[in-house]
Amino acid sequence: MGKKILRFIFFGNYFVGLLAVALSLEATIQQKLPFNSVNYYLLLFLAPTIYYTYAYNKAVTKPSGNNPRNQWYYNNKSFITKSQAVLFTVCILLATRLIYLNYSNFLRLPALYWLAIAIIVLAGALYYGLLPKSFIRFNLRNTGWLKAFIIGFVWACCANVLPLIMLKIETGVSYHDSVFWTWLFVKNWMFCTVNAIIFDIKDYPTDANKHLQTVVVRLGLRRTIFYILFPLLIAGGISFIIFALYKGFGPYTMIMNAIPFILTLLAAYSMRKRQNILYYLVIIDGIVLIKAICGIVGAAFVT
């Protein structure tokens, strides 16, 4: 029963939706900004859930005994199709309500904000090749080593860019501490990139067979862990310490924000041995949730 629930939450990508909301709340609290509307957070939860489920469901055409997630999608195809229709309908209703309540503010949104929205939507659509092939054949997944950095970029935008855009639309509030915002954005980008590279370890045999030159395929497992993941995490930890000292953060804030880096180092080291897919989803994605919680708790100690 416990495994069935875990598969439903993680294979169904509901946990991904939760992560999107958690990272957004973390960034909002760290920057001491007003919260967005419940309408927005519901949309933020539903959009990645629908997006990832659609992409995985589209890719599965037959059961695979050695891939539990593919097997789950194949066995639950009818449920997934119906749930996607329901969630998409709810998403459209929420988006319509958001536009209706803030129609004039949408029209007054500066061009720079629209450019940011266009970049995020385009990157998300191209990542899984969701646009019609008659329109464009480019697929960001096929860029190999760039893939993880693009995933990290999109997630950092969801956490640090979209909330500011929606805050401007819903309340007219703008954020002006560009130094702090830039640091938070880069921190989330690099952290989510490391997370994506760890996930590439899961797909290493498949990507190698498809000649998809991801970081892991290019460098090999051991080099990826010790020459890419460890240096990125250590550099991120050092940059945080420097920035924390510059901003005058107290010891509790520094400790709370250091925990996710330490946990990710341990998780990266554990990747030397091949794990099952639920391990990757529960542990690796779980660390992202812990990061958001630690960032929120750490912000409580900032005066």
Residues 171-197, mean pLDDT to the nearest whole number: 86
The residue length of the chain stands at 303
Q: What are phi and psi of 250, to 5 degrees?
A: -80, 175
**Side chain identity at residue 57, one-letter code:** N
Is the per-residue pLDDT at 240 higher than 90? no
Residues 21-27, mean pLDDT to the nearest whole number: 95
What is the average pLDDT score of the chain? 84
- pLDDT score recorded for residue 206: 64
Cα–Cα distance for residue pair 5/136, rounded to 1 Å: 38
Q: What is the pTM of this model?
A: 0.89
Is the per-residue pLDDT at 200 higher than 80? no
Name which residue leads in pLDDT, 90 or 67.
90
**pLDDT tens digits, one per residue of 248-286:** 888 888 899 889 989 998 988 888 777 778 888 888 899
- pLDDT score recorded for residue 279: 82
**Res. 83 pLDDT band, cuts 50 70 90:** very high
User: Buried b vs exposed e over 18-30: b needs ≥16 C-beta within 10 Å?
Assistant: bbbbbbbbbbbbb
Give, in order, the Cα–Cα distances in Å from 159 to each of 18, 39, 45, 193, 301. Answer: 12, 16, 12, 14, 21
- pLDDT score recorded for residue 219: 77
Is the per-residue pLDDT at 299 higher than 70? yes
Instruction: Give the torsion sign (CA, 201, 150, 227, 260).
Output: negative
Domain boundaries, the chain: 2-299
**Res. 228 pLDDT band, cuts 50 70 90:** confident
Tally helices (H) and strands (E) across the chain: 17, 0
Cα–Cα distance for residue pair 155/158, rounded to 1 Å: 5
Taking 3-state DSSP, the helix, strand and coil percentages for the chain, each rounded to the nearest 5, stand at 80, 0, 20
Is the per-residue pLDDT at 95 higher than 80? yes
3-state SS string for 250-268: CHHHHHHHHHHHHHHHHHH
Is the per-residue pLDDT at 61 higher than 80? no
And the tokens for 4? 């069935």
Is the per-residue pLDDT at 14 higher than 90? yes
- pLDDT score recorded for residue 141: 57
**pLDDT tens digits, one per residue of 124-177:** 777 665 555 544 555 555 556 677 888 888 899 999 999 999 999 998 887 777
- pLDDT score recorded for residue 96: 95
